[in-house]
Amino acid sequence: MANWIDACAAEDIDEEDVIRFDYDGRTFAIYRSPDNVYFCTDGLCTHEQIHLADGLVMDHTIECPKHNGQFDYRTGKAMRAPVCVNLGTYATKVEGDRVLIEI
Amino acid sequence: MTKRDYSLLGPDAALAVENGLAAADWYHTDIPRQQMKALMKREDQPAIRDTLILFSAMFVFAAIGVALWPSWWSAPFWLAYGVLYGSAMDSRWHECGHGTPFRTAKYNDWVYQIASFCMVRNPVTWRWSHARHHTDTVIVGRDPEIVAMRPPALFRIFLNFFGILDAFHGWQRMIVNASGKLETEEVTYIPQSEHYKVIRVARIWVVIYAGVIAIAVVLQSILPLMIIGLPRLYGAWHHVMTGILQHAGLADNVIDHRLNSRTVYMNPVSRFIYWNMNYHVEHHMFPMVPYHRLAELHELIKQDAPAANPSILQAYKEVWPILLRQLRYHDEFLTRDLPPTARPYRTDLHEGALGDTGARTTTPQAVPAE
């Protein structure tokens, strides 16, 4: 059964940016794309467990701040070494001015 | 005195993991997110400009060298070409490996492949090696890119000013990889899924070198090798000269880049060749920032870091005495004073790792005389 969690206000995230969201002992990264769509992935890089929220969002990629590995945050796909393992992704929706993620 | 084992497979590697030094959470100066985003922002223009200048200069110097060959009047042009091939390509390899100079990913990849070939560094192997260097910077047994070990192998470093060990090791690894094998240590940091890429690149390089050597044999001249291969030797000095200053004489087994990395102000020519890696504390603390924004980053964090060395010469005056002392006292290292505005050095895991053996020297002037 879908478990929608209220994560943040829509305006908490700048366009083409990311924030960290911790919930129930887990950490997530929530993105706002240049075309104003929200996405959510696991918050830690699959290479060395670095918080992706400190990284750089460019178009639809997130770059890890430690080793510059890249993921497509829409699909979680690992795009550039040293990342090889894809990120988990989670559905999002906006209700009013709130961003919800499905865990 | 602690005897260090730099092997990635040795007891110090296990000790680093046990002490929490492997893949640790490193100190970072606090920078507001908006400022950091601005500094990390990618653009193509500066790197396209610099790359065009670099390749154009290489073409011109090599063309004049060929035109004047075999006269000694060609020598200065070969030396200039060599520095761009054997040293500027080191920084291009480094920066494009991070993927930061260009916004367009394929531009980073193209320059990375060319620079890797010039430096005889397998682009797949070294991407993983350098990732480890950033994860575990100067952590003994974890960092595969430590140049000045303890005791420092000064003769080895001297030989590398002419590429004599590094380049030949690179060619040796190329042959091993081309035969379908990886070295034992390479296996520790390159995922299995990437091994075929290491081997594929090595085989392509063997074909290129075989072609160049064949042309040299046909022409009965080393001229083709003056253009491809040998400049890795006769042009290596600049990247070794600048590279030593990155970490030599400073702490090992720490998790604060201000303790183990050095920022040195350099002349504009060296900064072009080195692509601003003289801002090395800044680069390690924030590897996402492109080379052309590092000077700005330096201004932003310098109140939280030891003072930059004012010149290459001054930096060597600082490094040389401590390297000589490390020949006998392996635990000696240099701790630079922080400005009053800085947050204290992060020494938690550092103390745990070194225990009571951590001898240190505070400021270059304080290095005790023999």
Determine the average pLDDT of the residues in B12-37: 90
| B235, amino acid identity | G
Determine the average pLDDT of the residues in B141-153: 91
Would you call B138 helix, strand, or coil by DSSP?
coil
List all residues 6 or more positions away from B30 whose beta carbon is below 8 Å from its beta carbon.
Answer: none
pLDDT value at residue B352: 59
CB of B286 less than 8 A from some CB of A: yes
Question: Nearest CA to CA, how far is A2 from chain B (Å)?
Answer: 33
Query: In this predicted model, which residue has the larger pLDDT, B188 or B69?
Result: B69
Q: What is the Cβ-side half-sphere exposure of residue B285, based on CA atoms within 13 angstroms? A: 26
Q: Which of B36, B134, B193 sits opposite A67 (nearest CB)?
A: B134
pLDDT tier, B127 (very low <50, low <70, confident <90, very high otherwise): confident
Is A93 within 8 Å of A5 (Cβ atoms)? no
pLDDT value at residue B362: 54
Q: Which residue of B has its CA nearest to A61?
A: B105
Q: Are strands A4-9 and A77-80 parallel, antiparallel or unpaired?
A: unpaired
Determine the average pLDDT of the residues in A20-25: 95
Q: Sort out which chain A residues have CB atoms less than 8 A from B101's CB and list them.
A: none
Tens of pLDDT along B289-334? 999 999 999 999 999 999 999 999 999 999 999 999 999 999 999 9
- Spatial distance between the Cα atoms of B249 and B262, rounded to a whole number of angstroms: 10
List all residues 6 or more positions away from B156 whose beta carbon is below 8 Å from its beta carbon.
Answer: B165
Q: Which of B313, B294, B308 is nearest to B241 (CA)?
A: B313
Instruction: Tell me which of B14-28, B116-130, B149-163, B191-205 is least confident.
Output: B14-28
Question: Nearest CA to CA, how far is B98 from chain A (Å)?
Answer: 6
Contact B194 A58 (CB under 8 A): no
Q: Sort out which chain A residues have CB atoms less than 8 A from B257's CB and list them.
A: none
> Does residue B351 have a pLDDT over 70?
no
pLDDT value at residue B312: 98
pLDDT value at residue B361: 54
Q: Which residue of A has its CA nearest to B42?
A: A58
- Spatial distance between the Cα atoms of B333 and B120, rounded to a whole number of angstroms: 31
Tens of pLDDT along A41-93? 999 999 888 999 999 999 999 999 988 899 999 999 999 888 889 999 999 99
pLDDT value at residue B358: 44
Is B266 within 8 Å of B311 (Cβ atoms)? yes
Tens of pLDDT along B260-276? 999 999 999 999 999 99
Q: Which of A17, A58, A82 sits opposite B127 (nearest CB)?
A: A82
Mutation to test the A interface, candidates B109, B127, B143, most A Cβ within 10 Å: B127
Mutation to test the B interface, candidates A56, A60, A70, most B Cβ within 10 Å: A56
Mutation to test the B interface, candidates A52, A64, A67, most B Cβ within 10 Å: A67
Q: Show the domains of chain A with their CATH numbers.
A: 4-102 (2.102.10.10)
Question: Nearest CA to CA, how far is B217 from chain A (Å)?
Answer: 39
Determine the average pLDDT of the residues in A4-27: 95
pLDDT tier, B354 (very low <50, low <70, confident <90, very high otherwise): low
Contact A68 B193 (CB under 8 A): no
Determine the average pLDDT of the residues in B213-237: 98
Q: Are strands A26-32 and A38-42 parallel, antiparallel or unpaired?
A: antiparallel
List all residues 6 or more positions away from B177 whose beta carbon is below 8 Å from its beta carbon.
Answer: B122, B125, B198, B199, B201, B202, B203
pLDDT value at residue B367: 34
